[in-house]
Structure 1
């Protein structure tokens, strides 16, 4: 989507222009310390200039992050080209997830860093991967991802399994707020098949599973989808990573199809994944996903009872106490819907004739974009 513009009002608020604006962002008063920064690329310059580093770079879709550095001593990230995340682009570690991935938040003062940004970071000895996004855009806002490696050598010919961790930033178009997501990764890699064609020989496929929303920045008060209930802890469907060829010369793969499906098997999210192999013997793999789709899908099963009373037919439904419209409003507000709605008690002297359950699947009226990163390590081969 197009980049979202901002207009500062004279009354100290923030008003929308061009599709989105941050309202009342939370702030942490921290005095930033400027890192030693090299010259960074301009917005018009594609940062994908090295086979050892790959960015999700597409300014037309507001994928603008073009440089990232991790400081292991102070456990900080320095990220470039995300507006309103502070003039130095410094992100401090605020959380470590159960799967070992880490979360970071941008610094702010009274006059800088007015848009809170969050980043997730996963790493191994030979690989680092970062995703970052702003929390209070009404549209997707500016974001990005990067994966980089210390070096690369192709694994010996054969088939391999890689397992690892996944983390993501998830933002919305049609409401504010942000979610951080974690999960697990399993990839299979065949080094020698298919036969070489245009520099591509190997094949990759896999899945991201145990995908869960583990941290939420709620929609701000002025948003019509404002809610006091977070989405934290709610599961998301597995992401299927369809097969994609990779260059055995550079250990690089691009634009494989990534998809997820709702419980009724209809499409939920779709997008692409890209990445690189790394390590002294190709024992590591890392990459990023960019997927968009419905922000949330939930199912409700409600009971329907038919009855007769004094010769007159009647119906009692689980939707008598809460309407489908009310359920839709709850879903749009980020709330968890009841899984089962029982019909109310029948009137006195009524005789039940039939009882059944109906499955109702609801989807939010707005969409989400999840930018995830993953790093995996090769499982030792068995004889």
Structure 2
């Protein structure tokens, strides 16, 4: 309860700061999945398939490495080529054909990005390059920080009746992330974006939504003595359908509480901890996990990934004005900087 109360305090501070939120054209609705009904993912492939005995790369973090990560979050590598504005996620089935040039490449959706990111300095939307018949449509959000110290991306698909495959990646591109020793605590502020997979009862496949928000991460490097502490909140959340139409009725419907996590000072990484979606009345509606990395020569940035699942709001009942809820999985990431 203490952590949720703290998150509410953060939310009251950040909710007034709407300049960096993603804004749309207004209206409401839910994106309609276009993929045909196909077999469910094999549950045996879930959890990422990573070797539990392998030493993780401290500069790269994937959802498959998070404690209690849901099945299907199998992304194990992410590459971005700025000169081509192309993104590649590895280990996702049916996102490209190796026989086709540019296999597995995700291109920036200029129209959708202009709606989701009108200022041009935050997250953009990407989709995998269309391939031959049978290739799935994947939806992604991605951002490289202006400094070039870090980048983060998240991806999901509407191919399945279940949440299907997807994942998120946070990467440290420069510096070891070590924070200066002359200050005990730090506050990082930045942006968040996510892909939301919605399971609508009776629909032939999942549906996709996008989420944006503001991130506030607080860090204490001295207490507790050995591990330090990191916690945060994602507020000012806006929701969009797959075409970028703002679902105005859901604006600020909930916030994400990122529970206190420990710091690995050898690698300047943040250990996995609990994440929760909390309605404004204090009810926890979705739960999951989060983790992150410090980046930059002096720890100027923190980059992280978040996954939550549960009953989430997807619209408003016109008769009762109550939230319509469905099973959702939200897979997202944030980049925040300190003064």
TM-score range, shorter chain: 0.7 to 0.9
Residue 210 (structure 1) shift:
1.1
- Offset from partner CA, 1:175-206 (integer Å, 9 cap, x none): 5210111111111111111111xxxx221111
User: 1:214 & 1:244 partners in 2: Cα distance?
Assistant: 30
Sort the Cα spacing of 1:68 and 1:17 in 2 relative to 1 into closer, same or farther, 3 A: same
Structure 2 unaligned residues grouped into runs of 5+: 1-34, 43-47, 98-102
Residue 17 (structure 1) shift:
3.3
Quick check: which one's helix share is greater?
A: 2
Sort the Cα spacing of 1:117 and 1:288 in 2 relative to 1 into closer, same or farther, 3 A: same
User: 2:294 & 2:330 partners in 1: Cα distance?
Assistant: 22
Sort the Cα spacing of 1:167 and 1:282 in 2 relative to 1 into closer, same or farther, 3 A: same
Sort the Cα spacing of 1:66 and 1:280 in 2 relative to 1 into closer, same or farther, 3 A: same
**In the alignment, which residue of structure 2 is the partner of 1:51?**
58
1:108 pairs with 2:68: no
Residue 190 (structure 1) aligned to one of 198, 211, 220: 220
User: 1:243 & 1:255 partners in 2: Cα distance?
Assistant: 9
- Offset from partner CA, 1:89-119 (integer Å, 9 cap, x none): 1000012524611110111134353x11011
Task: Report which stretch shifted further, 231-240 or 163-172.
Answer: 231-240
- Offset from partner CA, 1:67-96 (integer Å, 9 cap, x none): 110010011101111111112210000125
User: 2:185 & 2:37 partners in 1: Cα distance?
Assistant: 54
Sort the Cα spacing of 1:368 and 1:15 in 2 relative to 1 into closer, same or farther, 3 A: closer
Residue 263 (structure 1) shift:
3.8
Structure 1 unaligned residues grouped into runs of 5+: 1-12, 21-41, 219-229, 297-333, 342-359
1:278 pairs with 2:295: yes
Residue 168 (structure 1) aligned to one of 194, 199, 203: 194
Asked if 2 retains the 8 angstrom alpha-carbon contact of 1:135 and 1:217, the reply is no
Residue 217 (structure 1) shift:
5.6
Give the TM-score of the pair, scaled to structure 1: 0.65
Residue 45 (structure 1) shift:
4.3
Residue 15 (structure 1) shift:
4.4
Partner secondary structure for residue 242 of structure 2: strand
**In the alignment, which residue of structure 2 is the partner of 1:134?**
157
Quick check: which one's strand share is greater?
A: 1
Sort the Cα spacing of 1:138 and 1:76 in 2 relative to 1 into closer, same or farther, 3 A: same
**In the alignment, which residue of structure 1 is the partner of 2:317?**
337
**In the alignment, which residue of structure 2 is the partner of 1:377?**
337
Residue 238 (structure 1) shift:
1.1
Residue 238 (structure 2) aligned to one of 189, 212, 218: 212
User: 2:331 & 2:310 partners in 1: Cα distance?
Assistant: 12
CA RMSD of aligned residues (A): 2.7
1:81 pairs with 2:115: no
Asked if 1 retains the 8 angstrom alpha-carbon contact of 2:40 and 2:162, the reply is no
Residue 258 (structure 1) shift:
1.3
**In the alignment, which residue of structure 1 is the partner of 2:208?**
178
Sort the Cα spacing of 1:281 and 1:139 in 2 relative to 1 into closer, same or farther, 3 A: same
Asked if 2 retains the 8 angstrom alpha-carbon contact of 1:19 and 1:138, the reply is no
**In the alignment, which residue of structure 1 is the partner of 2:143?**
122
More contact order relative to length (CA 8 Å, sep ≥ 6): 2
Asked if 1 retains the 8 angstrom alpha-carbon contact of 2:277 and 2:285, the reply is yes
**In the alignment, which residue of structure 1 is the partner of 2:11?**
none
**In the alignment, which residue of structure 2 is the partner of 1:367?**
327
Sort the Cα spacing of 1:134 and 1:18 in 2 relative to 1 into closer, same or farther, 3 A: closer
Sort the Cα spacing of 1:260 and 1:295 in 2 relative to 1 into closer, same or farther, 3 A: closer
Residue 152 (structure 1) aligned to one of 151, 157, 176: 176
Residue 378 (structure 1) shift:
0.9
User: 1:64 & 1:217 partners in 2: Cα distance?
Assistant: 25
* Structure number, greater radius of gyration: 1
Sort the Cα spacing of 1:279 and 1:44 in 2 relative to 1 into closer, same or farther, 3 A: closer
Partner secondary structure for residue 232 of structure 2: strand
Sort the Cα spacing of 1:378 and 1:368 in 2 relative to 1 into closer, same or farther, 3 A: same
1:251 pairs with 2:268: yes
Residue 267 (structure 1) shift:
1.6
